[in-house]
């Protein structure tokens, strides 16, 4: 009898463990999972991203001061290892006497300066302006940033775009430290031979959701850092999924909606 009971409880234990795994097969962190159970980026994806970051500028990003114009506004990025200061500078011409507005985003948060005076802002405006500044400066420095601790990378295999072979990497974000848009999902295409990031696409949920695909154009290297402009495409969010965008692009079935052009780029490199 004791042997039968032990065998019965062993069966129950095995079944419980099996059901537990099936309920969370991806291994992604749930509310009840411990910090040690956080998913890890797979090794192949990490190697591809590491190689791309090196080709695009590598360690130079860690101490670089970057300035450029984008849609009539001046953006700057100053970085010292993990510390950063992002700024967006523009003139408010709607006032009787035009003033310079400087949006500042750093490790401590966001503030807006009107001339030399900080403007008090409600939290929702702070969040909106912060996202806007971060988005421009994040994208212009890609693929730097894809090794942040909140980023999960997954290798999706190889594909061909316009006759060239690419390695595909999916990027998702940890909820806890992945920012307000942690539910966004990205796919990056890295040239298998050159290691450059030539395309990327993403899906987002804000503003009723959307799909975007960006094609790198006009690549140039300035003081060891590689920059690109982009053609920005979209697809019908209600009809297609993120995984469909590669095929739609190859068939010429994406709609161009804008050009992402960075002008008057200037780079100064600090010492390590």
* Position 177 confidence tier, pLDDT thresholds 50, 70, 90: very low
Beta strands 185-191 and 164-173 are: antiparallel
Nearest in space to 72 (alpha carbons), one of 267, 268, 261: 261
Angstrom distance (rounded) from CA 148 to CA 178:
9
Dump pLDDT digits (tens) for 29-82: 323 333 444 457 799 999 999 999 999 999 999 999 999 999 999 999 999 988
Residue ranges covered by each domain of the chain: 40-57+144-264, 59-141
Nearest in space to 90 (alpha carbons), one of 78, 98, 102, 81: 102
3-state secondary structure of 243: helix
Angstrom distance (rounded) from CA 12 to CA 20:
12
Least-confidence region, from 15-19, 50-54, 83-87, 105-109: 15-19
Q: Is residue 252 within a helix (H) or strand (E), and if so which, with residue range? A: none
Residues 127, 129, 132, 138, CA torsion sign = negative
* Position 6 confidence tier, pLDDT thresholds 50, 70, 90: very low
pTM above 0.85, yes or no: no
210 and 239 in contact (C-beta within 8 Å)? no
* Position 189 confidence tier, pLDDT thresholds 50, 70, 90: very high
For 183, the token pair is: 């539910």
Residue 147 phi, psi dihedral angles, 5° rounding = -105, 15
Q: What is the pLDDT of residue 160?
A: 97
- Count the Cβ atoms, other than its own, within 10 Å of residue 184: 17
Q: Which of 8-22, 26-40, 105-119, 180-194 has the highest mean pLDDT?
A: 105-119
| Residues with Cβ within 8 Å of residue 200, at least 6 apart in sequence | 142, 186, 187, 188, 189, 213, 214
Residue 108 phi, psi dihedral angles, 5° rounding = -95, -15
> In whole numbers, what is the pLDDT of the chain averaged over residues?
85
- Tell me 221's DSSP state: E
Beta strands 197-204 and 225-235 are: unpaired
Planar angle of CA 154, 157, 162, nearest 5 degrees: 125
* Cα distances (Å, whole numbers) of residue 110 to 87, 102, 113, 121, 135: 10, 11, 10, 10, 14
3-state secondary structure of 213: strand
Between 21 and 123, residue with greater pLDDT = 123
């Amino acid at each position: 009898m004791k042997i039968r009971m032990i065998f019965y409880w062993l069966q129950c234990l095995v079944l419980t463990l099996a059901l537990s795994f099936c309920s969370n097969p991806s291994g992604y962190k749930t509310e009840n999972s411990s910090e040690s159970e956080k998913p890890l980026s797979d090794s192949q994806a990490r190697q591809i991203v590491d190689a791309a970051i090196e080709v695009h500028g590598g360690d130079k990003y860690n101490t670089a001061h970057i300035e450029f114009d984008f849609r009539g506004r001046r953006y700057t990025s100053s970085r010292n290892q993990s510390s950063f200061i992002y700024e967006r500078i523009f003139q408010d011409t709607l006032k009787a006497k035009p003033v310079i507005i400087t949006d500042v985003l750093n490790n401590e948060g966001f503030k807006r300066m009107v001339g030399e005076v900080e403007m008090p802002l409600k939290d929702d405006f702070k969040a909106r302006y912060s996202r806007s500044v971060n988005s421009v400066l994040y994208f212009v420095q890609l693929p730097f940033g894809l090794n942040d601790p909140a980023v999960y990378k997954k290798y999706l295999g190889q594909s061909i775009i316009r006759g060239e072979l690419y390695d595909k990497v999916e990027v998702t974000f940890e909820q806890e430290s992945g920012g307000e848009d942690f539910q966004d999902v990205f796919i990056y295409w890295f040239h298998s031979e050159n290691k450059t990031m030539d395309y990327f696409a993403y899906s987002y949920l804000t503003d009723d959701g959307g799909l975007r695909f960006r094609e790198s154009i006009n690549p140039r290297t300035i003081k060891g850092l590689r920059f690109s402009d982009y053609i920005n495409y979209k697809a019908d969010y209600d009809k297609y999924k993120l995984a469909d965008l590669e095929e739609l692009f190859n068939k010429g079935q994406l709609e161009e909606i804008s050009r992402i052009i960075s002008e008057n780029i200037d780079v100064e490199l600090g010492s390590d």
